Structure 1
Amino acid sequence: MAFDYKKEYKDLYQPKRMPAIVTVPAMRFVAVDGVGDPNEEGGDYAKAMQLLYGISFTIKMNKKSNNPDEHIDGYFDYTVPPLEGLWSMEKGVPGVDYTRKTDFYWTSMIRLPEFVTDEVFAWAKASFASKHPEVDINRAYLFDFDEGVVAQVMHKGPYDDEPATVTILDGYARSQGYGLDFSDARRHHEIYLSDPRRAKPENLKTIIRHPVVKVG
């Protein structure tokens, strides 16, 4: 059976509809930065998706390589984790304004298994780029993210309905003695458990995280 991060770490990937305070451990991601509306047809966000999934599946499918020089030390079969995103309106400005999607600053990312070293990542980038010379492979980078303490909740429904869930989440954090702790490094965080191309908007499941710090 392939290792599935969503099933093995249910507290991080299968939260209840009620908010909770959780501590997220350090993880390694492949990431791409960008600006603009993620819904733009053929836009920058779509190009980022090609990079993220291309590199992620290059690593996953290493198991089928017949070249012994390409075999990854410590490799184990796994399910590619869900897409994630860090969002803000501009650097240093917390939160997101859903009415101004063209002004979004985003970091899109996919978690990598623990066996992915700097060398493995460099190989995966080069391998994917050799088959897709049209991509700007240098946009993709390794991102070691130590998120720390967050308020977390599951949002079900369209992305544009998230503000109501965010209000509940932030209110819960304050009721538990926490304040929001946004910064350039700690931003509005979403994890996408549903494929918007296949799921109805009302059935979309998105984990929302806000960085918090204990106050008082």
Structure 2
Amino acid sequence: MTEREPMDKADFKKSLDAYQAKRDQFRLVDVPEQWYLMIDGHGDPNTSPAFAEAIEVLYPVAYTLKFASKRELGRDYVVMPLEGQWWAQDMAAFTSQRDKSRWDWTLLIMQPDWTTPEMFDAAVAKVDEKVRAKGGPARLGDVRLETLAEGRCVQTLHVGSFDAEAGTLARMHDEFIPGRGLRRTGRHHEIYLSDFRKVAPEKQRTILRQPVEEVRG
């Protein structure tokens, strides 16, 4: 590659159908198996130190992998947005009661399919080397690289605050899904197209996704 031949930068938000959604329009999408950086936690995302620590550790690993891919493989890409899977022992605590203290979660950042465990291990070691003297990120050892295969899902784009999701979720869960002869499986999944640390709540854009399966018999 010469200086006159710039490296193409892949943007999977634009090229993958699983990251396309329109506001207040529910649609079925088949989500393929994909690699993700993952880290687990529990509790209110607004007050739990573990939630902030999880974000602080995911991004350094994600960007270290991106730069390694560009440098070593000649493959550059836009780092994907933060995502989250959310659930509770009683899902009413999530969908209607919104009792955030009872929520469990896994934060994720999707990785290209050419990412390998060896690349991940090298990225974690590099981040650890850089931050060891500074005493962070605290949860580096909790990050993992795994695949997730959600298959058939229903999703839509929600614009507004997270606390305003309840009505959209009620329509998805109680109207659209059963109306198509489907039932929920797996965990509620959110894709944060907006950085909620910087964007006003009323302008936040979030894909809401729910894995489903056909009701048989």
Range class of TM-score, shorter chain: 0.7 to 0.9
Counterpart residue number, 2:180? 176
Does residue 197 of the first structure (1) align with residue 200 of the second (2)?
Answer: no
Gaps of 5+ in 2: 1-7
Deviation at 1:94, TM superposition (A): 4.1
Counterpart residue number, 2:55? 49
Distance of 2:70 and 2:153 partners within structure 1: 38
Mapping 1:36-185, distance limit 5 Å: 36-40=43-47, 43-62=49-68, 71=72, 74-90=73-89, 93-94=90-91, 96-97=94-95, 99-133=98-132, 134=136, 135-170=138-173, 171-181=175-185
Runs of 4+ in 1 over 6 A off after TM superposition: none
Are the equivalent residues in 1 in contact too, given 2:54–2:139 (CA < 8 A)?
A: no
Question: Which letter does structure 2 place at the counterpart of 1:214?
Answer: E
What SS class does the counterpart of residue 126 from structure 2 fall into? helix
Deviation at 1:50, TM superposition (A): 1.2
- Given the two structures, how large is their TM-score scaled by the length of structure 1? 0.87
Residues 1:75 and 1:114: Cα distance change in structure 2 (over 3 Å): farther
Question: Which letter does structure 2 place at the counterpart of 1:25?
Answer: P
Are the equivalent residues in 2 in contact too, given 1:21–1:173 (CA < 8 A)?
A: no
Are the equivalent residues in 2 in contact too, given 1:94–1:187 (CA < 8 A)?
A: no
Distance of 1:64 and 1:115 partners within structure 2: 12
What SS class does the counterpart of residue 38 from structure 1 fall into? coil
Counterpart residue number, 1:214? 214
Counterpart residue number, 2:33? 26
Are the equivalent residues in 2 in contact too, given 1:75–1:115 (CA < 8 A)?
A: no
What SS class does the counterpart of residue 80 from structure 1 fall into? coil
Does residue 7 of the first structure (1) align with residue 14 of the second (2)?
Answer: yes
Distance of 1:63 and 1:215 partners within structure 2: 42
What SS class does the counterpart of residue 166 from structure 1 fall into? helix
What SS class does the counterpart of residue 75 from structure 2 fall into? coil
Percent identity between the aligned chains? Answer: 35
Deviation at 1:83, TM superposition (A): 0.7
Deviation at 1:75, TM superposition (A): 4.6
Deviation at 1:197, TM superposition (A): 2.6
- The Cα offsets for residues 24-65 of structure 1, whole Å up to 9 and x where unpaired, read as 000000100011111127x11111011110100011122676
What SS class does the counterpart of residue 39 from structure 1 fall into? coil
Question: Which letter does structure 1 place at the counterpart of 2:130?
Answer: K
- Given the two structures, how large is their TM-score scaled by the length of structure 2? 0.86
Distance of 1:169 and 1:76 partners within structure 2: 38
The number of residues matched between the two structures is 201
Gaps of 5+ in 1: 66-70
Deviation at 1:213, TM superposition (A): 0.8
What SS class does the counterpart of residue 132 from structure 1 fall into? helix
Are the equivalent residues in 2 in contact too, given 1:94–1:188 (CA < 8 A)?
A: no
Residues 1:169 and 1:117: Cα distance change in structure 2 (over 3 Å): same
